[in-house]
Amino acid sequence: MTNTLPSLKNHKMEKYRKPDKFYTDRYDRFTIQELKMLEAKESTELQEVTDSHDRCKIEIQHCMDFKSFKNTAISRARNREATIREWMTADEHQDRLVATHPLPTNITCDSCGAPMRFCLHFFDVESIPLLFVFECPASHAPRKVIYPNGREFFFPWPTCGQCGYEVTRESYKENDVLYTTTTCPMCGSVKNDELNLNAIQRPELPVTEDDRQKYCLSFFNGRTFYEDLEALANLFDSIEEEQKEQLLKEHYEVDKIEKLTIPALENRLQKAIESTGFIKFFFAQPEMKTWAVVPFNIQDPTDRNDKKSIKAATICIQQSLYLTNWRLVGGIDYRLGCLTGKLKAYEREEDLIKLAKDIKESKK
Ligand SMILES: [Zn+2]
Ligand SMILES: [Zn+2]
């Protein structure tokens, strides 16, 4: 078993939350890389196809494939803001955890007794929000993983993928490669792993503004093939609805409903009301909101009682308005010979159809 470890970069002083550009670049860099790859793949697929039918088939396949260039571009664009925000929030959360938990002290190496130095944080290991990793300055293995309260944390012993029994591990280092052999004493399975300790991290490519514009920012309002299909289906539906409405209008003879303006309504009711023995019919200020509603006042100079007076006014108004787009709403109130109520206008096609239907059915 090897007893020295490769040195890890000391992250102690670095903040996890980076400037905003770091996150947008990270997101856009991946988008650009992914889309350039898909763009090249799709153009290769079309390159040697000259027959227009065959080209069309391939293009349709590209449209329908969720992982095609266009669909990927749209989905990356739509998720961009939320993902970047999520990354920032996660890093800010890590900084808060670090700021509120001081570095454990007096951690010493089990091999040489030297004070160990902090090398990195672990977050959310086995549901533990924060752990500190320490290494021996002389690189003695193993590193120690410490809880914020100074207690040592031990990873659960690895188990065999085949039988679940605890496995044993042996490692050795050669030419900067860490070779690990995992053996199960129960079923005898053996697994070999190699870890290149000097793996060269690929340098992160800078994001050019042209690429960002082309691959990341121009797809925000794009529509996928399936959304186009849906829009088309909705269009058909609305045409059908319109046709249905037209048929209903014809069937119920909506055009025969008289659409009265407020002055015409006032004029008509005045005559009808006054011929029923009432006087001083007038409209108050109309309420013009979703519905047009007009309050009215009438006086009854006769010696009818309230019930008779209300009944006479109601019948008179209902009959006068029956073939129009106006209706009495709520009841009529009576007090000291003064009657008040409200009239409402129906203007929307669907409401007119309903009125026309009632009229037609009442004639049966
Ligand atoms: Zn040591
Ligand atoms: Zn096993």
Q: Report the distance separating Cα 348 and Cα 245, nearest Å.
A: 12
DSSP state of 213: I
Say how many C-beta atoms besides its own lie within 10 A of residue 84's C-beta: 18
Residues of the chain with pLDDT under 70: 1-13, 363-364
Tell me, yes or no, whether 32 lies in a domain.
Answer: no
How many A from CA of 160 to the centre of ligand 2? 5
Q: Is residue 169 part of a domain?
A: no
Return d(Cα 63, Cα 42) in angstroms, integer: 11
Q: How far is the CA of 142 from the centre of ligand 1 (A)?
A: 9
96-124 tens-digit pLDDT: 999 999 999 999 999 999 999 999 999 99
Q: Which ligand is nearest to the CA of 184?
A: 2
pLDDT at 364: 66
Residue 341 forms part of a structural domain: yes
Please state, in angstroms and as integers, the Cα–Cα distance from residue 46 to each residue in 68, 225, 253, following that order.
14, 19, 58
End-to-end CA distance of the chain: 100
Residue with tokens 């058909």: 236
For residue 112, give the ligand nearest its CA. Answer: 1
Distance (Å) from CA 19 to ligand 2 centroid? 47
Distance between Cα 263 and ligand 2 center (Å): 94
Q: What is the pLDDT of residue 8?
A: 53
CB-based neighbours (< 5 A) of ligand 1, an ion: 109, 111-112, 136, 138, 140
- Into how many domains does the chain fold? 2
Rounded Cα gap, residues 324 and 272, in angstroms: 14
Side-chain half-sphere CA neighbours of 56 within 13 A: 3
- Amino acid symbol at 119: C
Instruction: Note the Cα 113 to chain centre separation in Å.
Output: 55
Peptide bond into 142 cis (omega under 30): yes
- Within-domain flag for 313: yes
Give the residue numbers spanning the domain of 261.
254-363
The model's pLDDT over 116-155, given as tens digits with 9 standing for 90+, comes to 999 999 999 989 999 999 999 999 988 999 999 999 999 8
> Quick one: which ligand is closest to 191's CA?
2
Distance 156 CA to ligand 2 centre (A): 16
Cβ contacts of 164 within 8 Å, gap of 6 or more: none
CB 109 within 8 A of CB 136: yes
Is residue 271 in a domain?
yes
> Which CATH number is 311's domain given?
3.30.70
Is 91 contained in some domain?
A: no
Please report whether residue 357 resides in a domain: yes
- Could you give the C-alpha distances from 162 to 62, 158, 183, 184, 192, in angstroms and in order? 41, 12, 11, 9, 15
181 CA to centre of ligand 2 in angstroms: 14
* Closest ligand to the CA of 116: 1
Q: Which ligand is nearest to the CA of 163?
A: 2
What separation in Å is there between the alpha carbon of 159 and the centre of ligand 2? 8
